Structure 1
Amino acid sequence: MDHIILEVGLAIALIAVAGLLSAKIRFSVIPFYILIGMAVGPHSVEFWHFDFRFIESAPLIEFMGRLGVLFLLFYLGLEFSVGRLIKSGRSIAVGGTIYIAINFTLGLLFGWLSGFPFQETLVIAGITTISSSAIVAKVLVDLKRTANPETEMILGIIMFEDVFLAVYISILSGLILSGSTSIGGILLSTVIALVFMLALLTLGRKAAPMLNKLLNIRSNELFALVIFAGLFLVAGLSETIHVAEAIGALLFGLVLAETEHMKRIEKLILPFRDFFGAVFFFSFGLTIDPTALGGAVWLSLAAVAVTLIGNLTAGMLAGRSAGLSPKASVNIGLTIVSRGEFSIIMANMAKAGALMAVIQPFAALYVLILAILGPLLTKENKLIYYLLNRLFRWDRKQASTSHSK
């Protein structure tokens, strides 16, 4: 533990350098955070008798990264309100079903056509289906798109994915880890997760007056303690009942968005969101072994192509089912194309179950490509929509004009 403070300080300095470099060339900062983490991770080498590999500080940096996910999703929830989300409840259910059905089916087909056995195919389908909540939240905030009409659908799909993930992990753990998973147990877990999410959303509608009085605290110190206590308790409770802690943070943000203290909470959370969010992507890079990626290049590239096609198709159908424009529908598919923490969870499960070794480097490279490509595609959504519109002619007037922006 002698060098833990120095290691954390070095990590923060490297994150700052990556951020300055991305700002200099005006590119998304997320890939830079991930790549710098890869460059100095546990699989790199010692430099000048100092171990750059963050061996001692890795658990602390990983925990700080988890906090980053909570703050990113909590802040995203604050940008909305329960009322807005509930108003779109039916269209979100339809859109979420469309998104999961298309991407999961394509994942199964991809695994089967690639020649994987049954259990490996199920893992690959899970890896390619679930979006990264952290990257999606970061992109929406950085590009200032939280007020866009399609963002409600994006948030809804993220929560819908979490219910699917809770069920799917229960099934996979029973199959792969040689446990016994009963249908009744899976259904009970699903019902508990749904009831918990609906209870929090209902609380956001009914308890706003009480929360307004509770949060009427003059002291900034006490105000921060109350907000942080609520955030971590709700997120921690979510995890215990098989709802991702990030979704618990999102729901807590949605609840507090109904209060008159929302702006004060946003101002409080903003620096924590930025700092710990950056650490998350750096810590994610630390987990990727660059030397193990070569054997899964073609498999990963093929999976990326399948995911891009599936996401754009699902985004178009989900958006149109909610009455959104073709442009907004394309934005849905592009924004949630990034894969991240949940895909790595699936790959780790495969490793624990002694499945084919190629799944680990495949998942790492697949996630890395989409973590880099996703924010870039989302930023260039106008150009991509213009090109797709030229092909499919959703808006004939725009297709006949030049791309002006």
Structure 2
Amino acid sequence: MPLAQLFLELGAVVLALAFVGRAAGRLGITPIPLYLLAGIGLGAFMHLGDAPEEFIHIGAEIGAVLLLFALGLEYTSQELRDNLQANRQVGVLDLGLNFTPGLLAGFLLGFPPLAAVLLGGVTYLSSSGIASKILGDLGRLGNRETPVILAVCVLEDVAMAAYLPVVAALLIGGTLAAIGVNLLVALAAFAVAFFLALRYGHILSGLVNVQSNEALLLSVFGLVLVVAGAADLLKVSAAIGAFLVGIALSGEVADRTRHLIEPLRDLFAAVFFVFFGLQLNLGSVPGVLLPALLLTVITSATKFFTGWWGAAQAGVQTRGRYRAGTTLIPRGEFSILIAGLGLGLAPTLGPLAAVYVLLTAILGPVLARFDAQLAPLFDRRLREVRAG
């Protein structure tokens, strides 16, 4: 592709994102839903060449990694350890409430058993990337309910460290021994990375802490990409690898890195969300719209209850419980990845997951934004139900 065409197409995409970002600012909402809709519009009316589309794809992966890295910078290793221990029951509830609807829906739609298991994974996972973007955009990183949201996302990634190797081995017809080896490698890799981040993070902070902002940015960005790549090779989420790097950094270096990484994070995060919209084939929507809508309604309610109950267990008041529930509703990058594994088993699984992810990714941020108006109404209705 000629360089001029590449720049023109990428420039048009970025300018479209700038326009919707300004619109979101005027409306006082997070730009996530508008980025997603912009991606759909660009995909429908503008045919991108292979080179721009590949760049956006790579940019989207970097965006997911940077979103989780930036979230990790907000917490110390001790806070994370205490948080995970306190929210183990929430993680079990989350798995039961949100994996089951997808699994049952898969059987009702006539999917093979393994494809139904994959759809269960699609509905189970909240998008940690979208959740972190909501928290950052709406200034809620320091809120009391945020540790609950973080714990749910991390526990889901721990579950995925066991789920993905097993599913991948079953898809290729692996033996029981092969499944066991894949599972052991993934869990061991996660455990080692988690241990190193918690125990030796201060050493890493000292190694990358240099006076030059330029050198610091390059060191940290390179480290995040290397760890994310290694995590992905070992069948652990690349995003959770980046998150652990963020957890490992502390003190002055974490504060400086937070300010330096923000522009990069915002740029690639916008690309991350628009990529979802670009992937959606509008011609496939009518055939899967009804089951996607039903799944959205059911699993938005179950995920909302997960966040509400978890925040209540932590002593958070009504408005914070509402925020926790709505922030966890969006599904995202991992759900798309899981659905992609089963396209050979059930061709409609991919379009169904894409529409489902889009609906939840729009619904969650919108509901999260209007917590002041909707939380009291929800609380009043809940009291009436209990009284009646």
Q: Determine the structure 2 residue equivalent to 1:310.
A: 302
Whole-Å Cα distance in 2 between the matches of residues 211 and 115 of structure 1? 50
Q: CA deviation at 1:240?
A: 1.9
Q: Determine the structure 1 residue equivalent to 2:11.
A: 9
Unaligned runs of at least 5 residues, structure 2: none
Of 319, 338, 347 in structure 2, the residue corresponding to residue 346 of structure 1 is: 338
Whole-Å Cα distance in 2 between the matches of residues 89 and 363 of structure 1? 29
Whole-Å Cα distance in 1 between the matches of residues 176 and 31 of structure 2? 41
2:141 corresponds to 1:146: yes
Q: CA deviation at 1:386?
A: 1.4
2:185 corresponds to 1:192: no
Identity of counterpart residues, as a percentage? 34
Give the conservation status (yes or no) of the 8 Å contact 2:229–2:238: yes
Task: Give a deviation string over 1:252-276, Cα, whole Å, max 9, x none.
Answer: 11111x2222221111101111111
Other structure's SS at 2:347 match: coil
Q: Determine the structure 2 residue equivalent to 1:371.
A: 361
Other structure's SS at 2:330 match: coil
Give the conservation status (yes or no) of the 8 Å contact 2:35–2:273: yes
Q: CA deviation at 1:282?
A: 1.3
Of 268, 275, 282 in structure 1, the residue corresponding to residue 260 of structure 2 is: 268
Of 32, 35, 56 in structure 2, the residue corresponding to residue 33 of structure 1 is: 35
2:248 corresponds to 1:255: yes
Describe how 1:206-285 pairs up with structure 2 within 5 A.
206-208=200-202, 210-211=203-204, 213-256=206-249, 258-285=250-277
Of 66, 71, 76 in structure 2, the residue corresponding to residue 76 of structure 1 is: 71
Whole-Å Cα distance in 1 between the matches of residues 160 and 176 of structure 2? 15
Q: Determine the structure 1 residue equivalent to 2:168.
A: 173
Of 131, 137, 141 in structure 2, the residue corresponding to residue 136 of structure 1 is: 131
Superposed CA RMSD? 2.3
Whole-Å Cα distance in 2 between the matches of residues 286 and 368 of structure 1? 11
2:21 corresponds to 1:19: yes
Unaligned runs of at least 5 residues, structure 1: 47-51, 400-405
Whole-Å Cα distance in 1 between the matches of residues 318 and 16 of structure 2? 40
Q: How many residues align?
A: 383
Whole-Å Cα distance in 2 between the matches of residues 207 and 356 of structure 1? 44
Whole-Å Cα distance in 1 between the matches of residues 341 and 208 of structure 2? 41
Q: 1:212 to 1:138 in 2, by over 3 A?
A: closer
Give the conservation status (yes or no) of the 8 Å contact 2:101–2:295: no
Give the conservation status (yes or no) of the 8 Å contact 1:211–1:259: no
Other structure's SS at 1:56 match: helix
Whole-Å Cα distance in 2 between the matches of residues 38 and 304 of structure 1? 19
Give the conservation status (yes or no) of the 8 Å contact 2:342–2:349: yes
Whole-Å Cα distance in 2 between the matches of residues 100 and 374 of structure 1? 19
Give the conservation status (yes or no) of the 8 Å contact 1:171–1:181: no
Of 348, 358, 373 in structure 1, the residue corresponding to residue 348 of structure 2 is: 358
Q: TM-score, normalised by structure 2?
A: 0.91
Task: Give a deviation string over 1:201-232, Cα, whole Å, max 9, x none.
Answer: 323xx442x44543442222222222122212
Q: Determine the structure 2 residue equivalent to 1:56.
A: 51
Give the conservation status (yes or no) of the 8 Å contact 1:95–1:322: no
Q: Determine the structure 2 residue equivalent to 1:391.
A: 381
Whole-Å Cα distance in 1 between the matches of residues 68 and 251 of structure 2? 18
- Give the residue type in structure 2 aligned to 1:220: N
Whole-Å Cα distance in 1 between the matches of residues 193 and 210 of structure 2? 27
Q: Determine the structure 1 residue equivalent to 2:278.
A: 286
Whole-Å Cα distance in 1 between the matches of residues 232 and 195 of structure 2? 16
Whole-Å Cα distance in 2 between the matches of residues 56 and 231 of structure 1? 25
Q: 1:20 to 1:217 in 2, by over 3 A?
A: same
2:121 corresponds to 1:126: yes
Q: CA deviation at 1:180?
A: 3.5
Whole-Å Cα distance in 2 between the matches of residues 309 and 186 of structure 1? 34
Q: 1:326 to 1:213 in 2, by over 3 A?
A: same
Give the conservation status (yes or no) of the 8 Å contact 1:91–1:321: no
Whole-Å Cα distance in 2 between the matches of residues 110 and 66 of structure 1? 29
Q: CA deviation at 1:86?
A: 1.5
Q: TM-score, normalised by structure 1?
A: 0.88
Whole-Å Cα distance in 1 between the matches of residues 321 and 353 of structure 2? 27
Give the conservation status (yes or no) of the 8 Å contact 1:82–1:254: yes
Whole-Å Cα distance in 2 between the matches of residues 25 and 329 of structure 1? 24
Q: 1:7 to 1:260 in 2, by over 3 A?
A: same
Whole-Å Cα distance in 2 between the matches of residues 363 and 378 of structure 1? 22
Give the conservation status (yes or no) of the 8 Å contact 1:71–1:249: yes
